[in-house]
Structure 1
Amino acid sequence: MNHRWARFMVLVMALCLTVFVMGPAAIAQSQTQQGKYVIVTDGSNIDGNRFIEAVQNGLEAFAQHKGLGKDAYGMYLSDGPGSGQKESKIKQAIEDGATVIILVGYLWFKEDVKIVAKYPNVRFLSFEWTAKSYPDNMINLTFAEEISGFMAGYAVVMDGYRQLGFLGGDKKNASVIRYGYGFVQGANEAATRLNTPVAMKYWYCGSYSPSAEIQARMETWYAKGTEIVFSCGGSIIESCIQAAQNNNAKVVGVDQDQSSLSDTIVTSACKLFDQAVIYMLNLYNAEIQCWPSYLTGSSICLSLAEGTVGLPTDDASWRFASFTLDDYAQIKIDIANGTTTVSDSVKGRPKVKMLKVSYE
């Protein structure tokens, strides 16, 4: 027997022995070390829900990049927003082998942390909860909305708009306030750099639903010279869009790229939920089934460094006349290196220099 044949036979025997020693259970265990990642919704309607769609896109992109099989990720739709209905789907996901559960939707409530705490061996990721504390097996994500708002305000002024408006939903909602105050700061920064006065009307309508009252107020703004309004409050953008269409004016969308809603939308101040999912799952250690300990049991804010806030840059979404992608890249650099600062405070109105804000 020659040496090559001997080495070949040794290799074959070693492989056979490995399979025999490991057995089917051990092989299956090694496969599960990659983890199983699932989404559990809050019981709301998922049709047209861009939040859920973005999270799903992020999970799928992560899975494809990691080469995970279809059985390694998925989504469970809760039958309703009740705690029992949501926990039922969580239990089902865990029974099916879920190691990481992403809780998606705005009908999860701070009391639902009690559900999460029941399953300490499973890791949970949530978005924008307001609990006072979080179990050690959970990470809650928030976003630096002021950065996205700043980008939108800066961009529209640099693009030539001089009469702006901000339409907010609930004046007590910290996210809405950060968006609005960021918009003010961005517009002021651009006006200061251009040494050009800019004006802004600012109003919280107290609602997240479209109404005749909101549209009438926007009609008045546009008729009196407002050129573009940042609509920040869910579906109230429908009232804003209708008023803009009636007055040949423009709108800034919020949270997701809303350019598909209307040609009046110039840009959107975005939270990039898909990128947030990818970022967090890349931090997850599937072998030991945990995130870094300094992140767990807490709420963390994702910002420019994580690539999770900003403006949409696809060709179809970029509707500026003169503000370029290079201009956008530069202001991001200025913020990242501290040349330009953006406050996240929701206490006290932002100080302005070249911007006149009329709070209504």
Structure 2
Amino acid sequence: MKRFLAVALLALLLTFGFSFKAIMVTDTGGLGDKSFNDGTWAGVQRAAKELGVEAKVIMSQEQSDYIPNLTKAAEEVSKEKDGGIVFAVGFMMQDALEKVAKQYPSVYFAGIDIEFGKELPNVINFLFKEQESAFLVGYVAAAMTRTGKVGFIGGIPIPPVERFRYGYEAGIKAYQDLHGKKITVIKGYTNEFSDPKKGKDLANSQFSQGADIIFAAAGACGNGVIEAAKERSEKLAGKGLDNIKKYALSGKALYYAIGVDVDQDYMAPGVVLTSAMKGVDTAGYYGVTWAFKGQFKGGLKTLGLKENGVRMSEMKYTKDIIDKLAPNVLKELEYLKGLIIEGKITVPDSEDALKAFTVKGVKLPK
């Protein structure tokens, strides 16, 4: 009899599930950006699958959609017996999230790349030390450039994008300090995040000015940067990873892109040198899990290398190329990463700090 009741209860739970809902509201980049919207959604979906709860996404076509979409999501969650959580993805949603969260104090919210002047008890604000992962890829770019010129393409120059730039330039400065190599950084902005063509056009402009490696922190615009590097490299080496690697390992110069937010190395194997990743998937996962398990605590959560909240991709397709053309650079990078985690190197997060940044006192291991 007890066994029958247990089976019946399990069947009931499987039929009706938990009355808990996780809703993600995208910024205008939307799903398919292969960047922070897709990354956050992956984390939300993973948690929802593990917990057996419902997850859905609401797409924003323009900025005027932010408040209506967040309001709609909050209304849906507030009707659930077991509650839920609403995600707002991207710095541009900051004002909308703050306004809606105040109107629905009993609903849990999570903001990605969002910080309020005053914390709200029903909102977790996830920020990331983008500058720390960008430092790592900047160091690699400095070691790998053949022309002595590298590029940076930002979307809109908002704080998360600028932290990527500060870190990237700091990594380049560190390599210059430690190796005496002169490197010029060409900078530009698409002033939006959703148009790959703008990213591609700007990348081709920077390549024409002599850059051979470009780091893009520009959302979907960065997809165009990767496409530009791929097209130029394939004209030289031929299509496919095997041809790219054979050409690069022979010592011939190619054009490279550096991915952002998530591991974008797969988008052009052998051409995407590495990616400066941040744990938007981790934020999505923990936001849902904490809300579901009653462990939600509002306030600011800042994640860096120490918390494994930012990292560099594993360079699945390019590690042997980097090892051949820039021997010891990855070993040096592991050492410098350790110094950052220990607090012995502070990667700049502002223009003034970048101007003052140096690692001239650091001794690399032999």
TM-score (ref. length: structure 1): 0.73
Q: Which amino acid aligns with 2:208?
A: T
Q: Which amino acid aligns with 1:59?
A: V
Deviations 1:228-250 (A, max 9, x none): 12122234435544553336311
Deviations 1:154-213 (A, max 9, x none): 2233456572423233674222221111111112223333x2313122323352344486
Distance in 1, matches of 2:276 and 2:60, equals: 31
Structure 2: gaps (5+ residues): 234-253, 361-366
Q: Which amino acid aligns with 2:55?
A: G
Q: 1:153 Cα shift?
A: 1.0
The reply on whether 1:265 has 2:249 as its aligned counterpart is no
Query: What count of residue pairs does the alignment treat as equivalent?
Result: 319
- Cα–Cα, structure 1 residues 351 and 164, in superposed 2: closer, same or farther, change >3 Å? farther
Q: Aligned to 1:112, which of 81, 92, 97? A: 97
Deviations 1:21-50 (A, max 9, x none): xxx9xx98xx99x98351232475744133
Q: Which runs of 4+ in 1 moved over 6 A?
A: none
Distance in 2, matches of 1:231 and 1:95, equals: 41
Q: Which amino acid aligns with 1:268?
A: S
Q: Aligned residue for 1:335?
A: 340
- Cα–Cα, structure 1 residues 237 and 115, in superposed 2: closer, same or farther, change >3 Å? closer
**1:103-252 to 2 correspondences below 5 Å:** 103-106=87-90, 108-159=93-144, 163-169=148-154, 172-193=157-178, 195-205=179-189, 207-208=191-192, 209=195, 210-211=197-198, 214-215=202-203, 217-222=205-210, 226-238=211-223, 240-241=225-226, 243-244=228-229, 245-246=231-232, 248-252=254-258
Q: Aligned residue for 1:350?
A: 355
Q: Which amino acid aligns with 1:304?
A: L
The reply on whether 1:304 has 2:288 as its aligned counterpart is no
Q: Which amino acid aligns with 1:261?
A: M
Q: Aligned residue for 1:61?
A: 46
**1:91-102 to 2 correspondences below 5 Å:** 91-97=75-81, 99-102=83-86
Distance in 2, matches of 1:260 and 1:275, equals: 20
Q: 1:261 Cα shift?
A: 3.0
Distance in 1, matches of 2:296 and 2:352, equals: 33
- Cα–Cα, structure 1 residues 340 and 348, in superposed 2: closer, same or farther, change >3 Å? closer
Distance in 2, matches of 1:159 and 1:57, equals: 32
Does the aligned pair in 2 maintain the 1:164–1:201 contact within 8 Å?
A: yes
Q: 1:220 Cα shift?
A: 2.3
Structure 1: gaps (5+ residues): 1-11, 356-360
Q: Which amino acid aligns with 1:202?
A: I
- Cα–Cα, structure 1 residues 126 and 336, in superposed 2: closer, same or farther, change >3 Å? same
Q: What secondary structure is seen at the aligned counterpart in 1 of 2:114?
A: coil
- Cα–Cα, structure 1 residues 249 and 91, in superposed 2: closer, same or farther, change >3 Å? same
Does the aligned pair in 2 maintain the 1:215–1:242 contact within 8 Å?
A: no
Q: 1:285 Cα shift?
A: 6.9
Distance in 2, matches of 1:334 and 1:207, equals: 34
